Amino acid sequence: MRVPLPFELEEIALEDTLDNIDWYLNKVEEAYHFYNQNDKKTALHILREINKNLEREYHHYHLVRVRNNISKEKFKLFSDYSRAITKAFVKQNSKNSYRALSSNLYDVNVYLDSYKFLYTNREGDE
Residue 77 pLDDT more than 80? yes
As a whole number of angstroms, the distance between CA 117 and CA 59 comes to 24
The answer to whether residue 9 is domain-embedded is: no
What is the distance between the alpha carbons of residues 114 and 116, in angstroms, rounded to a whole number?
A: 5
- Check residue 126 and give its pLDDT: 45
Which pLDDT value is given to residue 122? 63
Domains: count for the chain: 1
Q: Assess if residue 6 is contained within a domain.
A: no
Length of the chain, in residues:
126
Average pLDDT, the chain: 93
Q: Is residue 103 part of a domain?
A: yes
Residue 32's domain comprises: 14-125
pLDDT at site 124: 46
Percent of the chain with pLDDT over 70: 96
Q: Using H for helix, E for strand and C for coil, what is the string for 56-83?
A: HHHHHHCCHHHHCCCCHHHHHHHHHHHH
Per-residue pLDDT, averaged over 86-106, amounts to: 96
pLDDT digits (tens, 9 = 90+) for 42-63: 999 999 999 999 999 999 999 9
| 91 inside domain | yes
107 in a domain, yes or no? yes
Determine, yes or no, domain membership for 114: yes
Say how far residue 49 (Cα) sits from the centre of its chain. Answer: 12
Tell whether 3 is covered by a domain.
no
Residue 5 lies in a domain: no
